[in-house]
Every structure is written in structure tokens, then in C-alpha cells.
A and B are shown apart, each in its own frame.
Chain A
Amino acid sequence: MSSDFFTPDPEGQVPDDAGYFGAFGGKFIPEALVAAVDEVAAEYEKAKADPAFAAELGELMVNYTGRPSALTEVPRFAEHAGGARIFLKREDLNHTGSHKINNVLGQALLTKRMGKTRVIAETGAGQHGVATATACALFGLECTIYMGEVDTQRQALNVARMRMLGAEVIAVKSGSRTLKDAINEAFRDWVANVDRTHYLFGTVAGPHPFPALVRDFHRVIGVEARRQILERAGRLPDAAVACVGGGSNAIGLFHAFLPDESVRLIGCEPGGHGLASGEHAATLTAGTPGILHGSRSYVLQDEDGQITEPYSISAGLDYPGIGPEHSYLKDTGRAEYRAVTDDEAMQALRLLSRTEGIIPAIESAHALAGALEVGKELGKDGLLLVNLSGRGDKDMDTAARYFGLYDNDEAGER
């Protein structure tokens, strides 16, 4: 329904005027960016008040993205989850293959309204980069994507896609050479080129207004899914489950359910090689409050406030921060977060592929692994909604190596 597509600022919701979700959020940015960030906030307020903006965005969502996205029940997969019913919100079926396009189209329209001609963005798995490069091609904007060098290697297919779409892809070689460092480099570019450049931030982190703005563009996920599951299952789910890296697909799913207190909101963080190994990116489970990339939220850091290097098999979740609204939801107890290891996610990836014929992204497989666990906890009367945030094509090389799917692979199937 067209009324689902853009429903910003539901009454009584955070953040406040200074961008705070309780103790989290804010705007910790250099003075050189204050004017630009304020311009984004002002333009967004104008857009929200302009019915033409919602109409243009809605038209794109239907005819370009392919919304509403399907809701698919997965009974053969659910047999492995204690018999609970499981429905997947199919954001993988959106144009470009993930939820990222929702936010990108919204911000691309804002870019046009601000009269800017160049867009920069960070990307981890490459899904946000591909979506951004796509929108830039569609609107005739110059596009530069920053991507950690490690990620350009493990997500080489997406690098090629971005270049095919006409974007410049810059491999970032500083720090841990992953998503965090790509964001640092994008900020450096923005400070130097802010006059004509919009930083199309890809997740619900960053300085105010990005956490609220990106959330609003992804709210459609939960708004649609809530209506769909009521129609199909006749009731609200017991739990809504999503993976969290920066947290955009999870906020998009959760937000429409915030007033429904019976619905547990469960975020699945990248547990990497296990929390005890120290090699993970489970920011909410293992982090402490601090400031990274412009806002206060949970971060992985040492006692001196140095950000520690995260690890995940999933490039899109390999991030030591988290959107401030998730920190707020954790501390208020409205949402719960648990860590899912690389191995659990990869097993869930293969299980969904073989039981339902759907190959999920490794990111989304973390949510699937979490759902298997939650389903067993709920038992056979349970009803679960899982956000399938992206498709797994981009991950086939990683998965093939993990499971030994190449002919010349001596490892054999694991």
C-alpha cells in the first residue's frame, strides 16, 4: 500500500532535537561539517513536509525497487527451529539485492533537492555501495565509494558491479582496512568537498540527523511486514529477528513493532570466532558506550578510548560501532541482542539454501541462525518474522571456500 512507503516521525518517538535517543546519539563532528549536516537536516524537514517528496519516493519504490517486498513462509527451514512458524521479509528481492536501496533512493532525492552533484558513500559488503552507485546512475550524479581493502577482496563481485554502474571505487588501506576505515576516509573526503558533495550515509549510525533519517527510509520494511504477517498468520509475531552491523535493516524491521509490546525484537550481532576469542564485532554484547563516527553509542574500544579492530566473516557486519537507537533499545530493554558466530551463520546460510531454495547474504544468515535458536526457545506455537536483508550472490566465493564447493578445492565439503 502506498501509505506504507514513507512514514517518518511516528508520534512520541526519539530522537530529541539534539539528536539524542536517551543517552545515545548526538552530533560529534568537526566544525567544517556542521553547516553541511545542518543542511541535510533542514532539507529533510522540508522534504517531510512536502507531499511531492513522498509521492516521488513512493513511485520509485513501486516501479524501480519493486516494493512491497514479499513475505515468504519457510516451513522446511522452520522444521529445524523447533517447529515454530517462520516468515521471511524478502528485502533480498529488492532491486540491487538488499534493503539498502530504501535509504539510498530517499537520500538521492534529498541530494537532488540540495542541488549537490556528487555523492560519496562507504560500503562494507558492497550492498550499500551498489545501491548508491545505482541511484547515482539513475539520477546522473557523480559517485565515489570508499571500501576497505579487505572488503574489496572478499566482495570483489560488488566492486565490479559498482564500477559497471559508473562509480569510482577507492580501496581504503588505513587501519583495519574494513568498514570503519572506509567511513573515516569518506568523512575526510566530505570535509574537503562539502560544497558540492552529499555523504550518502549507509546505516543508522553517524551524526544526527542520519540515525533518524536512515531509519525513516527503512521503516517501510516493518510497516509492510507487520501488515503482511497480520494478513497471513492472523496475529503479530512473537519475535522479529534481524542481523545488526550498523543496524539499518534491524531498525527498519523493528520500528513499526515498537508499540507492540508482545513482539520481542531480537538483533543478531556478528560473534565471529566466538566472544571468548576476542575476534568478533558484537558491539552491543561486548562493547561500552563511546563516540565513533559522530555519535555516542556502544563501541568496541579499549580503556583509552581507542577503537579495537572488529572481525566477522561478514563484511557488512564487520563494524565496531552500532546505531545509537539500538543502544537505546538495548538499555531500555525493548530490544535484545545476541551474538551469532561465523560458523552458526554459515550453517544457516546453507540450510536455507537447501530447504527453501533461497541463498541469503552472510549478513542475513546471522539473523537466520538467531531465528533457529529463538524458534527452539519458543516451541511449535511460536511465530517468527525474520528480515532477509540481502541475497547471497555476492558471498558465493566466501561460501564456496568455506564449504569447499570448488572442483579443485582439496578441503572437500565441510
Chain B
Amino acid sequence: MAGNIELLSSVLAAARAENRAALVGYLPAGFPTVDGGVRAITAMLDGGCDIVEVGLPHSDPVLDGPVIQTADDIALRGGIKITDVIRTVKEAHEITGAPVLCMTYWNPVDAYGPERFAADLAEAGGAGCILPDLPVEESEAWRKAAEQHGLATVFVVAPSSRDERLAKITAAGSGFVYAASLMGVTGTRESVGNEAQDLVRRTRAVTELPVCVGLGVSNAVQAAEVAAFADGVIVGSAFVKRLLDAPDPESGLAAVRALAGELAEGVRKRA
């Protein structure tokens, strides 16, 4: 079975046709449990996310701030395996019909086997993969496997990326481009800097791929700000925090659904 790269592209195109940005939500698999994670991801989509990224928790998440580190720790202590992550992708996609990507670090994929990982992710209905510590220069084996199995390879670009690198990276990528709004790790920020808009402008100059902006966005006002210049708005830590702060699982799911709803309004405002 081929992966859902085309579903991902059509959802992004549909948002563009509605003259709005797409809303992309992130939650790690296995947090707080595998089944609880599926429910939370489903709630995120029910509440208004168009696309989800399912995190594959890693022991050494060097690009994540304390919020996602905490969630990853809970998932790993719960014994999450890669096969559980793939099941999470499968169930989230089957229940909602939405495009589901996997986001993780390179070592778990390398250990599992890039070809096997791509095959299993595609079989589960996955749409693609984001591997933020796999630079384009080291990515050939993965890209070959992903392409063969109909999966998108979403690369991250950063404010420090020079124009010639942006061209090289986006030429190798597919699905969309993940533009990091700032220089830093994941986590909510008071404001999303001007660097993001400049990066999106420079990225658009070298690619036709949709450009989604992540890092730091946590509320509807910020989502609207980013939606004014990007094709998609990516929110992760704010969702994780809703679950961490909730007194019980049910209110956590309600809070996730409510946040998705607020953000969905935000991406339609394009303030």
C-alpha cells in the first residue's frame, strides 16, 4: 500500500483554495499511553486540525524544549515501541481520514531500518515523515525509501539557512516545507518573531511547495499572525501542555479539542 502523500497535498491545497492556512497539530505517540495518545490525536483533529504529526519519542530529543521532553519521557517510561507509534498513525488516520505524518529523530528510523520504516508507515496510511536532525546531505537513503512508498519527506529550514541551501533543501523535499519560526527548540513563546515572515518569503522564492511555520505558536492570535504569510501553522508544545496540565484524561481531551478549535479560527482570520 502506498503512503498518503497525495492526501497531504490535497488537504494543503484545499486550505489554500479557502484562502486560509492549514492547521497542523503535533502530539507524541504513547503520551500518556498508546491508546490515550490515539484519543488525544483524534481529539486534535476533531477540534479543527487539518493535519497531524505523530511524534515518535526519542531518548535524546535535542531539538525539543522541556514540555515535549516531559511527554517523551512519560511515553518512553510507559514502554512505547516503534510498532506502537505505527499503530497510532494507523488508528488516527483510520478514525479521522486526515493526513498523518511521523516526526522523529534519525536514530530510531536508522535502527528500525529506513526501508522497513517507510514500508510500515505507508502500510499504516501515513503521509510522510519529518526528521529534523537528518540534513539533506545525509538523507538520500531515506528519500529513496520514502518516495518508493508514497511518503512525503518534509525538511526543516531555519532563519539561518542561506538562500542557496534553501534551494537545495526544498528541491529534495516533498509534501511541504517546515519553516522554523526562530532559532531555538520547541516550546511556546510570547511572540513569533519577524524572522519567520522573512524565511517564508525566501523559501517561497525557491519552491512551489507549501510552507508551514512551526516553533513557538501557542494561541489563536499568533496562529492568525502566522497564517497571514504562511500556508500552514504548526502547533505542538501548546497541545502537549494542555494534556500535562489537565487534572484528568477527559478534561485533557476537552482542552486539546478546545485549543484546536481556537487555533482553527485563528488560521481562518489571517490577521
Contacts and interface: CB of A to CB of B under 8 A. Distances in A.
Which range holds the interface residue count of chain B? 35 or more
Interface stretch (B11-19, B47-55, B90-98, B106-114): B106-114
Contacts of A304: 81-82, 108, 111-112
Contacts of A293: 60, 62
A18 to B, nearest CB: 7
Contacts of A290: 107, 110-111
A1 interface: no
Interface in A1-51: 18, 26-32, 34-36
Contacts of B82: 304
Given A29-B133, A175-B60, A188 B185 contact: yes
Contacts of A291: 106-107, 110, 133
A405 interface: no
A184 to B, nearest CB: 5
Top 10 nearest A-B pairs by Cβ distance? A305-B111, A305-B108, A32-B158, A192-B184, A305-B107, A306-B59, A291-B107, A35-B160, A307-B59, A187-B62
B248 to A, nearest CB: 26
B109 A32 contact: no
A292 B133 CA distance: 10
A180 B180 CA distance: 25
Contacts of A180: 60
Interface in A288-308: 290-294, 299, 301, 303-308
Contacts of A292: 60, 107
Contacts of B155: 31
B240 interface: no
Contacts of A170: none
A23 B182 CA distance: 33
A174 interface: yes
A30 B110 contact: no
B60 A184 contact: yes
15 contacts: A28-B134, A30-B63, A31-B165, A31-B180, A35-B162, A180-B60, A191-B184, A192-B184, A192-B185, A194-B160, A194-B183, A306-B58, A306-B76, A307-B60, A307-B107
A29 to B, nearest CB: 6
B100 interface: no
B108 A32 contact: no
Given A31-B155, A305-B111, 5 more contacts: A30-B133, A32-B180, A175-B60, A184-B60, A307-B59
A28 B138 contact: yes
B157 A31 contact: yes
Interface residues of A, number: 35
A31 B158 contact: yes
Given A30-B158, A31-B156, A32-B183, A305 B135 contact: no
Interface string A305-328: 111100000000000000000000
Contacts of B59: 175, 306-308
A34 B69 CA distance: 23
A192 B160 contact: no
Interface in A253-300: 290-294, 299
Nearest to B215: A32
A32 B160 CA distance: 6
Interface in A319-377: none
B137 interface: yes
Contact of B137 (A18, A35, A174, A306): A18
Interface in B95-153: 106-112, 132-135, 137-138
A174 B69 CA distance: 8
Given A30-B156, A184-B60, A305 B161 contact: no
Interface of A: 18, 26-32, 34-36, 174-175, 180, 184, 187-188, 191-195, 290-294, 299, 301, 303-308
Contact of B183 (A27, A29, A191): A191
Contacts of A307: 59-60, 107
Contacts of B61: 184
B193 interface: no
A31 B112 contact: no
Q: Identify the interface centre among B65, B169, B183: most chain A CB within 10 Å of its CB.
A: B183
Contacts of A31: 132, 135, 155-158, 160-161, 165, 169, 180
Contacts of B107: 290-292, 299, 301, 305, 307
Contacts of B161: 31, 34-35
Given A194-B160, A290-B107, A28 B183 contact: no
Contacts of A28: 106, 133-135, 138
Contacts of B108: 304-306
Nearest to B136: A31
A36 B61 CA distance: 20
Given A291-B106, A304-B112, A306-B108, A192 B137 contact: no
Nearest to A290: B107
A205 B160 CA distance: 24
A305 B110 CA distance: 7
A191 B63 contact: yes
B206 to A, nearest CB: 14
Interface centre among A34, A187, A195 (most CB of B within 10 A): A34
A345 B116 CA distance: 43
Contact of A188 (B62, B137, B156): B62
Nearest to A26: B138
Contacts of B112: 304-305
Nearest to A289: B110
B165 A34 contact: yes
